[in-house]
Structure 1
Amino acid sequence: MKRYCQEAIQSFPSIKLIVFTGGECFLLGKDLYEMVSYVHSYGLKSRIISNAFWANSYDAAYNCLKKLKDCGLTEINYSTGDDHQEYIPIQNIKNAVNASLNLEIITCVNIETRNDRNFGVADFISDDEIKKHLSINRGQFRVIAGMWMPFTEEALKQLPHKDKGTYTIQCGRCENLFESVNIMPDGKMIACCGLASKYMKYLHLGSMCSGKVKLLYDKQFNDFLKLWLFVDGPYKILEFIERKKIEVPE
């Protein structure tokens, strides 16, 4: 991880933020604390994305985050929603939010959003304690609706259609391409962040073991389809294919 970070930082001096995500990056244990310190030694900001499984009480959350704050952590994002709450109670998220804001860590809660969700942003921000935080900690705390990507055939059938409220999210251009250097635990670079990218071979750029980070990153600009995704987005590409009646090979 240190080697990957060092190479990325040296290749792209404009990098300002290193993000540790997953899966669940707290499973790294002590290595996570060491990496946050390592990033801090370069004078960079760091962000962690977590489901807050470790925050089963306020004290547990505070003690955990205090160590990370001392290591130099600047931001933390929590993920929750219907699927997360099968395993992690919403109280864990509240404990974690209380602790991170008391430690003056920039905090964001990302809530799974799709048209068939039972728990959404409105449910979370209706909590009195969360309302208070949103009022007091402006600029330090926000709650966002994140598009939740389905991974089963049944879930795919539930995706919103053109007339649903999430249509604009689906139909915009891809703003994440070219904006970051994304490295998986196995050393493979991918073009975009998020679990869905792991399952799309087209977004795999190659291995850090066989190529330099800048070389792998720059190769993207020779790919017309990635440029098109960045400019117009996947929905407009599909509309173009339909309009032209282009046959796409399996």
Structure 2
Amino acid sequence: MTFGRQPSTLTLLSTYRCTAACENCCFASHPGIEERLSLTDMLNAIDQAAALGSISLVVFSGGECFMLEEELIIAVARCTERRLASRCVSNGYWATSIKAAHDRLDPLRRAGLRELNLSTGDHHQKYVPVERIAFGAAAGIALGMHVVVVVERELDRNFRSQTLLSHPALAAIRDHPNLTVFDSPWMPMEDRASVKHGAGTLANRSNLHRRPGCDSVLDTMVVNPRGEVGACCGLTREQIPEMKIGSLSDMTLAEMAGSAGHDFLKIWLSVEGPEHILAWAATKDPRIDWEDLYNHHCDACRAIYQDPRVRAVLARHWHERRDDILSRYRLAHDRTRPVVPEETTAVISI
């Protein structure tokens, strides 16, 4: 028996190879990485996602998914054949002009692609100039796509979303309903001091009520270039062994989705979010330091799994929150079934 929530999204990180090598890249992507998911494995995963029934969207990311060339078009077409929507996430390196961007996107549009996500900011622009983002966005809108541009946000940055919107290539479409541009926190992957955020943006008791549950864990299944499957699309997922739920070579997506749905900590993350869990753990052990440390929820999630004091608290006290969290989870995702706490597994081991 599984819990109410079933994944709605499959993300294929088919390669960590990228034309850029941004500092603090969540997967340490760079041009020299060769390992990648085969086309056969991608198509197999798409077929399994369609068979699962709950998945409606397949996201192609990386690394840089546009480096897959023709295989990306084939994979997008398979999604369309299986009645799954598709999205591509890219740094936009290929958009050297509006015409070049149009020529690159049009085969994907004809294969069924309807959403393009582009990433930019101070780090990305060391490798991909901002005009390519503008050209890519303009071409995508002209082709009838929904275009989302995510701009890195950190303290003392030079580039902001308004800077992009003022680019001449976007003059005619900056208010287009299919164009969304927003800022998202850039986060440290190794050295915390290398990324700074303003004090008002960091999680603490005064703003904890504004921190929601995680909308990725248990809702998104991610396949990495090794064929390993994760239970979320989080930026720190590769640094959290417990987020790996299996491998395409050993289990089906349906089997992995079922097993992940029995993990209480993942359910808890979904219901309350990592900042709330850290705050609660600190009430049990005041030595746990969490306030004014985390801007991005993936950063806070990593702390839950890597801080030995947090792990110790959760291992000893998780059952105190079990019934409350499971009740709220079921209310949110499946109102037809009673709570069965015995279905969950222990939250964490130390």
Structure 2 length-normalised TM: 0.65
Please tell me the residue identity of whatever aligns with 2:213: R
- The answer on 1:83 being equivalent to 2:123 is yes
Give the equivalent residue in structure 2 for 1:164.
201
Specify which of 11, 18, 27 is matched with residue 58 of structure 2.
18
* Cα offset, 1:14, TM superposition: 2.9
1:221 to 235, 243, 261: 261
Helix, strand or coil at the partner of 1:132? coil
Amino acid at match of 1:76: L
**Distance of aligned partners of 1:157 and 1:27 in 2 relative to their CA distance in 1, 3 Å threshold:** closer
- Note the C-alpha offset of 1:165: 7.2
| 1:233 aligned residue | 273
Q: Is the 8 A contact 2:66 2:90 kept in 1?
A: yes
Alignment counterpart, residue 100 of structure 2, candidates 47, 56, 60: 60
Equivalent residue for 2:183, pick from 145, 156, 170: 145
**Counterparts in 2 of 1:109 and 1:92: CA distance versus 1, 3 Å:** same
d(CA) in 1 for partners of 2:172, 2:202: 28
Name structure 1 gaps, 5 residues minimum.
none
**Secondary structure of 1:133's match?**
coil
- 8 Å CA contact 1:181, 1:189 repeated in 2: yes
- Matching residue of 1:2: 43
Moved more, 150-159 or 90-99: 150-159
| Structure showing greater Rg | 2
Aligned mates of 2:271, 2:74 — CA distance in 1: 38
SS of alignment partner, residue 134 of structure 1: coil
1:157 and 1:241 map into 2 onto residues whose CA distance is 25
Distance 1:154 1:225, change over 3 A: closer
Cα displacement string for residues 47-71 of structure 1 (whole angstroms, at most 9, x for unaligned residues): 1000011111222111111111111
Contact 1:81 1:119 in 2 (8 A): yes
Distance in 2 between residues matched to 1:157 and 1:52, nearest whole Å: 24
CA contact (8 A) 1:149 1:196 kept: no
* Displacement of 1:34: 0.8
- Seen in structure 2, the aligned counterparts of structure 1 residues 155 and 23 have a Cα distance that, compared at 3 Å, is farther
2:181 is matched by which residue type in structure 1? V
Q: Deviations over 1:77-103 (max 9, x none)?
A: 101111111100001101111111111
Name 1:197's counterpart in structure 2.
237
Which deviates more from structure 2 when the two are superposed, residues 182-191 or residues 123-132?
Answer: 123-132
Q: Matched residues in 1 for 2:131 and 2:75: separation?
A: 28
For these two proteins, the number of residue pairs brought into alignment is 246
Distance 2:181 2:156 in 1: 19
Indicate if the aligned counterparts of 1:114 and 1:166 stay in contact, CA closer than 8 A: no
- Contact 1:160–1:166 at 8 Å: present in 2 too? no
- 1:215 & 1:44 partners in 2: Cα distance? 20
Q: Secondary structure at the match of 1:8?
A: helix
Q: Find the aligned partners of 1:239 and 1:209 in 2 and give their Cα distance.
A: 38
Mapped pair 1:243 → 2:280: no
DSSP 3-state at the match of 1:222: coil
**How far is the alpha carbon of 1:127 from its aligned partner?**
3.3
Offset of residue 220 of structure 1:
1.8
Across the aligned residues of Structure 1 and Structure 2, the Cα RMSD in angstroms comes to: 2.2
Distance 1:74 1:179, change over 3 A: same
Q: Distance in 2 between matches of 1:171 and 1:192?
A: 18
Q: Percent identity at matched positions?
A: 31
| Change in 2 beyond 3 A, CA 1:166/1:189 | same
- Which structure has more relative contact order (CA 8 Å, sep 6+)? It is 2
Deviation at 1:114, TM superposition (A): 2.3
SS in 1 for 2:75: helix
Letter aligned with residue 6 of structure 1: D
Instruction: After TM superposition, give the deviation of residue 243 of structure 1 in Å.
Output: 1.1
